[in-house]
Structure 1
Amino acid sequence: MNPRNAKTVLPAVAMTAVSMVLTLAVVVMWLGTAVPWPVALVVGLGIDGGWLATLAYERRLAAQGDHSRIVTAVGWCFGLIAAGVLVAHALSAEASAAAWLAVAWLPIAAKALWLVHGMWERTALTPLALNAIRGIQQEARDEAAVARARLRAEATTEETRLAAVTAAGARVARVQARTAKTLAGAWSTLETARQGEGTGRALTSVTAPVTAAVTSRWELPVWGPVQPLAAPALESGPALSDAELDVLVEEIRTSETPALSYRVMAKRFRAAGHAASETRLRAAWNRVVGAA
């Protein structure tokens, strides 16, 4: 017998044996006063024998994987007859009626235990299948544990990264705040200097020997929006040759008496729309002056 099946079959066998003994004893005691005791014994054995036969046939069908409702119904009928005999004897007995009623449910309980044993057999699995199920369950538990550990590690990493980014952002914000404060103080100092009454005169007096007749007042930068300046248009047209450049320089230099200086000549040269680099213009000036 399979040790696993013994957990359900042994209680069913014990309950059935006790029920048969009680049924036989009650039939012999109850009918022994009315009929000869051999007759009562045959009746009791007939009830127990029919019950045992139907039970054996039902177990044979279950071993073959089959089931018969008729056999099951006959078995339940024998169980109900045995229980009815016990109940009738308990009700007719003047003494110890309660004790007989207390054991009258044993045949029904025996049939119920055999029903439970049949369900156990239909749902029982082999040790190989049970080991496979345990392996699958253990693998699922392992995967769940690994997934939980991975999620916890990722959460910790993300928390550390966010903390580092937040700290770096705070440091950048503090540096920007200090820089803005320093720039604001510097521009405030420049604005104070620009608004001062003697600042312009002092700067003009210092730079007057160098920038005579160029500017009359120095202006410091003003804190405010910046307006982008348009890029100057490039001069179009072919480049002048050295001979042409010398002729133009000579004409402009001698356009007035006395002859113009190089600075004035260069200003009027470019104001007339001519284009030449400073190096070529200076070389042409030197050639013209040397020839004169």
Structure 2
Amino acid sequence: MKAKTVLPAVAMTAVSMVLTLAVVVMWLGRTVPWPVALVVGLGIDGGWLATLAYERRLAAQGDHSNGVTAVGWSFGVIAAGVLVAHALTADGSATAWLAVSWLPIAAKALWLVHGLWERTALTPTALDAIRGIQQEARDEAAVARARLRAEAATEATRLEAVTGAGARVARVTAKTAKTLAGAWSTLEAARAGEETGRALTSVTACVTPGVTPHWELPVWGPLEPVVVPALEGPVLTDDALDSLVDDIRHSEDPALSYREMSSRFRAAGHSASEVRLRAAWKRVV
């Protein structure tokens, strides 16, 4: 990289010095002896070369002098001025000399670029370390992107599975609810029908003559269990138990069912086993 910046500056400086010397000899050679013109040209080139060498020495030491830099630019401006003056006074080649009159200024600019490069140049070891750090950062970024993409794909798959399962459950629930609604609708229609009790009575009349059964179809809805406190009392005889069952059964019109009679029997504080209570119910009915 150093050769890429220093070689153009060296080449352009050499060309500028040769052109300056040639122009001074041709321009002043018509009015003064050519040795004098040669000395003047070499003086301009020598001063330019000396200041350039001193600038390079200071740059190698890490120093900088504004005065030396100003002197170097002055020699560059003088060389460019000589080329411009010769181009303006030449007879037929003014355009050609003007085309190369910018070379001294360009040479100084290239040396400035080279100096800036030297102040910011790094060693191969540092450059390798920087490249390693950059590569490590790129690797970490690539791994992080891959991890994020994998997590996103996994989450999308999980959501699709959960959504599909939820949809299936919803379809099954809706189908079940529809079936239950139809069944309970049919049952409610049968329960509310005027002919339901008459039809059931006609079926059971031949089995239980003289007894009017009380039919109750199940009701769709939550049922609260009846909590009956366990009360201790005297043991009832069969006659007393039959009398209590008959009184409770006919406490309302129409007569109560066994379930209602049993609930009221125990809520009243009476005590009897389920077997004896059912046997009393059968005897009463």
TM-score bin (small chain): 0.7 to 0.9
**1:173 CA displacement:** 1.2
Report the CA distance shift for 1:15/1:141 in structure 2 as closer, same or farther (over 3 A): same
**1:53 CA displacement:** 0.3
Greater displacement, 87-96 / 71-80: 87-96
Pairing partner for 1:63 from 56, 60, 63: 60
Report the CA distance shift for 1:132/1:10 in structure 2 as closer, same or farther (over 3 A): same
- Structure 1 residue ranges without an equivalent (≥5): 254-259, 283-292
Alignment partner, residue 184 of structure 1: 181
Alignment partner, residue 30 of structure 2: 33
**1:141 CA displacement:** 1.1
Alignment partners' CA distance in 2, 1:271 and 1:125: 102
For residues 123-162 of structure 1, the C-alpha deviation after alignment (integer angstroms, 9 at most, x for no partner) is 1111111111111111111111111111111111111111
**1:169 CA displacement:** 1.3
Alignment partner, residue 263 of structure 1: 242
Alignment partners' CA distance in 1, 2:183 and 2:209: 27
Alignment partners' CA distance in 1, 2:210 and 2:116: 120
Alignment partner, residue 144 of structure 1: 141
Task: Say if 2:80 is the partner of 1:83.
Answer: yes
For residues 214-265 of structure 1, the C-alpha deviation after alignment (integer angstroms, 9 at most, x for no partner) is x643132344x54x547445256xx45xxx64xxx46xx6xxxxxx365336
Question: Size of the alignment, in residue pairs?
Answer: 261
Partner of 2:31, secondary structure, is coil
Alignment partner, residue 282 of structure 2: none
**1:198 CA displacement:** 3.2
Alignment partner, residue 108 of structure 1: 105
Report the CA distance shift for 1:190/1:31 in structure 2 as closer, same or farther (over 3 A): same
Alignment partners' CA distance in 2, 1:78 and 1:104: 14
Alignment partners' CA distance in 2, 1:271 and 1:19: 128
Alignment partners' CA distance in 2, 1:199 and 1:281: 32
**1:94 CA displacement:** 0.6
Q: TM-score by structure 2 length? A: 0.81
Pairing partner for 1:135 from 124, 132, 135: 132
Q: TM-score by structure 1 length? A: 0.79
Alignment partners' CA distance in 1, 2:25 and 2:131: 54
Report the CA distance shift for 1:44/1:164 in structure 2 as closer, same or farther (over 3 A): same
Report the CA distance shift for 1:141/1:14 in structure 2 as closer, same or farther (over 3 A): same
**1:107 CA displacement:** 0.6
Residue type matched to 1:40 in 2?
A
Alignment partners' CA distance in 2, 1:154 and 1:21: 70
State how 1:202-217 maps to structure 2 within 5 Å: 202-207=199-204, 216-217=213-214
Alignment partner, residue 256 of structure 1: none
Residue type matched to 1:89 in 2?
H
Q: Cα RMSD over matched residues?
A: 2.9
Report the CA distance shift for 1:141/1:210 in structure 2 as closer, same or farther (over 3 A): farther
Residue type matched to 2:103 in 1?
L
